[in-house]
Each structure stands twice: as C-alpha cells, then as structure tokens.
Amino acid sequence: MKLYVYIIRRLILLIPVIIGVTLITFYLSHVNIGMLIATYEGKIHTAARREEVIISLHLNGPIYEQYLYYLTNLFTGKWGYLSPGEPFDAGTPVFVEFQRRFPPTAELAIIATGLVLLMGIPLGVLSAIKKDKVVDQITRLIAMAAVSIPVFWLGLIIIIALGPNSPIPVPLRITAEGQLDWAKYAFTSTGALQPWVFSASGGLSRPTGFLLIDTLYYHDYPAFLDALKHVFWPAFTVAVTSFGVIIRFLRSSMLEVLGQDYIRTARSKGVPESFVIKKHARRNALGATTTIMGLFFAGLLSGVVITENVFGWPGMGTWLFDAAENSDLGSVIATTFVFTIVIVVANLVVDILYSYLDPRVRLD
C-alpha cells in the first residue's frame, strides 16, 4: 500500500471516532438540561431568553434532532457563553475564550514534549547499552520514581526550592473600585507589568498567542526572558513526570533490537560500535517507541492540566478548573472536546509517522 493510500484510509477511519467523541460530549452536555440552558443564555436571564434558547437548541424535539443541532453548533463555533459565575469575562463566548486559552497550553505541551525527548532518549539508550551496570540501575530508578511522583507535588517542591521569587503570576484580585480585576494574570512574581501572559488584554494584538513567539515578534526581549522563565518550570515538571514511560519502553525495545541478527552482522563486519548504536539500533528502537506515543501524549496532557493550575499558567487546564468551580458547563465540555480531539489527531499523526518509518505496518 502506498503511503498516501494509507493516509486516506486512516482519515476515513477517523470519521467514526469523531462521531463517537461528539456522542459522548453530546450526552455529557445534555444530561443536565438546566446547566445546558444556563450555558447558552449568556448574561440575560429572563423567561423569554430561556424560551429562545430552548427553541434554538431544539430541546423540545426528538433526541436525534437535538444531536444534529448540537453538531451544527459545535462545528460552527457556537459553544455557548461563559457563565455569570465566572469572576471575570462573564458572557464571553466560549469559543473566543478557547482561542485565548489554547495557545498557552499548546506552547507548554510542545516544550514539555521537547524536554521529554531531550532527556528521555539519551537516558533510555544509555540504560540499554549499559544493561545491569550502575548507570542502568540509576536510570531505571529515576524512571521508576518519575512515574510515581504526583505531578502537582513535584511542581510545589520546585516552587519551594525556587523560593518566594518563583515565576508564578500572583493573583491580583481587587481593583480600586472594588471590582474583580480582568488582568488576573497580568502581574508576575517580580511585580512587573506583564501584559503578555493574558492574551487580548492590555490592548495588544497577539499574532500567534504563543508567549515566546509573540514577545520576540514585538522585540520585547526582557519579556521574552521572563516568559521563558515562566514556561520552563511547568514544562520541566510535566516532562519529568512523563519521561519515565519513554525511558522504560525505549530501554526494552532497544534491548530487543540489540539482540537481532542484523546487529550481530553489522558488528562482525567491523562497523564501529557508536555507528551500530546510532544508525542501526537506535533508529529502529525509536520507530517502535512511536507506537506508545499516543498513550504517552494523553498522559502528558493530563499532567499539563494539573501543572497549569499549580503554576497559574493561563491555559486550558486552569480554565477547566476555574470553570468547574463556577459550574460553567460550556467551558468544561469545550475543554473535554478539545483535549480529546487533540489526542485523536496526535494518534493519527503518530500512526502515519510510524507507517512512514516502518513500511511493514502498511502491508495488511
């Protein structure tokens, strides 16, 4: 099978999965009708408005009709409004809030994945090469401890270690008028105004929403360094708690590859050992490791959700828990949907990547 045929086949297989995901979010959002109506009412709470919402969502109609209208709303970006319980931004469309919250989470997840690969691959390979030596024992212990540490606890321990100047946006709760401040995340631990952290505030247009890229785009280097400090520690926390899985899997697949005949052949014809490890063994072991990347990524995103709350990073995870605290159904369902779709897409990309690296999987 050609690669593009395989990709098309995988894309067709994606359709039932996405229908399944929407069925789950449909069930979750429609099981508590009162909360659902409150989500779509926005700021106005009158009987007439309520009636309007019921008609627009076709809540009086049969269940399949409700589902069809739910799908239409979902794919046209009508995800409801933030509930009035939210301390700020009440009445903002959920979709707008999602566009603000998604880039920071993506940024954190990408940097964390980079750190995992940077730390995990060398350790896994080293552990397999030095099997049963001291290095191997230490690495296995690190991997074991890494999967056992509570993510939030590691974050808190890092905060304790960094001391009172830890890079955490200090909540600024009350303005002079006694109102809750919109710029909850606008101040950093250093006390300097940091309009970058919370998008669409301070009248700045954000070309990408990614903190590190936007600060560079505006040539604001002090803000870039500050942003780097803010993103590094949460990313490090997530990376340390997720790389154990990679180390362990890479070690075992590396050991398996090293026992293969072609490795013996390569060694016996005099290929230098470092070349055998890099070109023959590691490349194949990494190919096998891509198969667990989907599950790994789901775990990593769970870690991101928790870590964001610890470090006050203004992404989807912080949003999820703020919304849940305020019974904001629209935001919670939106986060569930977005995270699930992200993982589904990540799985797809990993499968295609694997079929590119190892064409044997395309045979069946």
Binding site for another protein (CB under 8 A): 16-17, 20-21, 24, 28, 31-32, 35, 144-145, 147-153, 156-157, 159-160, 163-164, 166, 168, 170-171, 189, 294-295, 298, 301-302, 305-306, 309-310, 312, 320-321, 324-325, 327, 329, 332-333, 335-336, 339-340, 343-344, 347
Residue 239: partners with Cβ closer than 8 Å, 6 or more residues away: 112, 113, 115, 116, 119
Please identify, using beta-carbon distances, which residue of 166 and 215 lies nearer to another protein.
166
Shortest spacing between CB 189 and another protein, in angstroms: 8
Please identify, using beta-carbon distances, which residue of 214 and 226 lies nearer to another protein.
226
Shortest spacing between CB 153 and another protein, in angstroms: 4
Shortest spacing between CB 344 and another protein, in angstroms: 5
- One-letter amino acid at 170 equals V
Please identify, using beta-carbon distances, which residue of 14 and 117 lies nearer to another protein.
14
Q: Reduced to 3 DSSP states, what percent helix, strand and coil does the chain have, rounded to the nearest 5? A: 70, 0, 25
Shortest spacing between CB 152 and another protein, in angstroms: 5
Torsion of CA 328, 331, 337, 338, to 10 degrees: -160
Please identify, using beta-carbon distances, which residue of 157 and 204 lies nearer to another protein.
157
- Where helices occur in 206-282 by DSSP H, the ranges are 211-217, 221-258, 261-268, 273-275
Shortest spacing between CB 10 and another protein, in angstroms: 12
- Quick one: 191 exposed, middle or buried, by C-beta within 10 A (0-12, 13-18, 19+)? exposed
User: Which among 298, 247, 290, 235 is positioned nearest to 109, based on CA atoms?
Assistant: 235
Please identify, using beta-carbon distances, which residue of 281 and 316 lies nearer to another protein.
316
The three-state secondary structure class of 61 is: coil
